[in-house]
Amino acid sequence: MRRVNDHIIARGSIHVNTIPSGHVAGAVAAGLTVLSWSSVLGAVLLVSATLIAIAATVGRYHYAVDCVLGAGVAIAVWLCVQP
């Protein structure tokens, strides 16, 4: 699997690391938003967001800091829009 991933990154990547991770930010934002309506579904989405962050780091699409900052952006925005 690592060879397949390296092949994809070598040929299909723009070779620029994006910071923060938009995928993690979007997944965390969705989880936090849904959490106010359904604690179970929100928790499932937040676990999914964590798995997305882990996969993005292990798959070498992002550095860990990209994923942490993506989650941080989502949390900061979520806190700003709370009543």
Sign of the CA dihedral 22, 23, 28, 29?
Answer: positive
The pLDDT tens digits along the chain (83 residues) read: 778 877 777 776 656 667 899 999 999 999 999 999 999 999 999 999 999 999 999 988 888 999 999 999 999 999 999 98
pTM of the model: 0.81
The terminus-to-terminus CA distance of the chain in angstroms comes to 45
Close Cβ partners of 45 (under 8 Å, ≥ 6 residues apart): 27, 30, 31, 34, 35
The confidence score (pLDDT) of residue 75 equals 97
The confidence score (pLDDT) of residue 8 equals 75
Yes or no: say if 59 and 11 are a contact pair by the CB < 8 Å rule.
no
